[in-house]
Amino acid sequence: MAVDAEKAFVGTVALEGDDRLDDAALTTWMTDNVDGFEGPIEVRKFAGGQSNPTYKVHAKSGDYVLRRKPMGKLLPSAHAVDREFRVISGLYPTGYPVAKPFGLCEDNSVIGSMFYIMDMVEGRTIWNGAMPDATPDERRGVYLEMIDVLARLHESDVEAMGLSDFGKPGNYFGRQVGRWTKQYKLSETEHMEKMERLIEWLPATLPDQTRTSVVHGDYRIDNAIFEKAGTNCLAVLDWELSTLGDPLADFTYVCMAWVTPNEGRSGVMDLEREELGIPELEEVVERYCGATGRDSIPDMNWYFSYNFFRLAGIIQGIKKRVIDGTAASAHAKAMSERVTPLVDQAFHYAQKAGLE
């Protein structure tokens, strides 16, 4: 199903229902906790995204972004806005492209759930990986910048950023397979035989972990803000799934764009890449290896299977929230229909990696 992402996700919308905030309570909190803040405020919700509701807070002192947990019953460890705040607080002083963090509020009485405030970074979000209005040179520059910025993250000094306890050491893929299996089971709505096979096969075939770094967990072209007229990345967004782990999880997740049809989103598999200026996967691998001191990347089929499996687990959680009436976005219902195709893809790559 093709999505006109530019129309669906760009801009802000008025607040309705559970999205409404207590402006007076928020103004008081920001006055006490955000340096330089001055009200009054006007709040609108960003149209894009469906996990943690995200708001634009326009104030006399400037524009801010508020990220909060959704309302309603949530899966354990999901929607970890406190972890998002911690990782951008560690990265920001190093010069890594993230929004400036201002404050975290763990008091649910202020707006009804935990939230944090960060700076509003002005630029462009690229929802469509084909970048229809760009030149070939511009597309190439953005794609290479995306890989370079990911490599910078994976080469960052975890200890210097105060993030040495941000995740458990070792066995990243084992823990992730376990986590998403559990999350899937908690939100399961129907039996899928292929998913059951993957739940058995993935933990029995885990790859060796040779490096540990901060991993973003959802690194793709539309989770970054780029210059309006240029190719520099100004801020990487949506750190909800970040932790310490195997950097190959992030890298192979980015590479999934090359095995995913475009359909108006981040996939580039069916595009005329050479004509558009989008680098081939082989060049992307070479670029990343050069920036991180690797000789090569292992066969990606297992990693693709894992990544599609993980996405199926995430989308299954959204599907359950649609059924329960707690999903945070109008686009959530359409996304929830992607579970079965994602499981099919995960199974396909598992077979390529040796599942019989």
Mind listing the pLDDT tens digit for each residue in 158-196?
999 999 999 998 999 999 999 999 999 999 888 999 999
Q: Residue 53 falls within a domain, yes or no? A: yes
Same domain? For 199 and 109 the reply is no
Instruction: Supply the CATH number for residue 75's domain.
Output: 3.30.200.20
Same domain? For 77 and 169 the reply is no
Across 9-23, 128-142, 333-347, which has the greatest mean pLDDT? Answer: 128-142
Write the burial class of residue 73 (CB in 10 Å: 0-12 exposed, 13-18 middle, 19+ buried). exposed
Domain count, the chain: 2
pLDDT at position 1 over 60: no
Q: What is the pTM of this model?
A: 0.89
- How many CB atoms within 10 Å of residue 341? 13
Q: What does each C-alpha distance from 273 to 3, 127, 258, 269, 352 come to in angstroms? A: 20, 17, 10, 8, 24
Q: Residue 131 falls within a domain, yes or no? A: no
pLDDT at position 327 over 80: no
How far, in Å, CA of 53 to CA of 57, rounded?
13
How far, in Å, CA of 209 to CA of 214, rounded?
14
CB burial string 230-267: b at 16+ within 10 A, e below: ebebbbbbbbbbbbbbbbbbbbbbbbbbbbbebebbbb
Same domain? For 96 and 157 the reply is no
Question: What pLDDT, on a 0 to 100 scale, did the predictor assign at position 18?
Answer: 78
pLDDT tens-digit map of 243-299: 999 999 999 999 999 999 999 999 999 999 999 999 999 999 999 999 999 999 999
Domain of 104, in residue numbers: 5-119
Among 53, 86, 119, which residue terminates a domain? 119
Same domain? For 62 and 195 the reply is no
Q: Residue 98 falls within a domain, yes or no? A: yes
Same domain? For 178 and 274 the reply is yes
Same domain? For 151 and 247 the reply is yes
Q: Residue 124 falls within a domain, yes or no? A: no
Same domain? For 22 and 106 the reply is yes
Same domain? For 15 and 113 the reply is yes
Instruction: Supply the CATH number for residue 341's domain.
Output: 3.90.1200.10
Same domain? For 209 and 291 the reply is yes
Same domain? For 112 and 140 the reply is no
**HEC string of 189-246?**
CCCCHHHHHHHHHHHHCCCCCCCCEEECCCCCHHHEEECCCCCCEEEECCCCCCEEEC
Among 119, 148, 171, which residue terminates a domain? 119
Q: Residue 171 falls within a domain, yes or no? A: yes
Same domain? For 66 and 150 the reply is no
Same domain? For 24 and 102 the reply is yes
Question: What pLDDT, on a 0 to 100 scale, did the predictor assign at position 5?
Answer: 47
Q: Residue 127 falls within a domain, yes or no? A: no
Among 61, 87, 119, which residue terminates a domain? 119
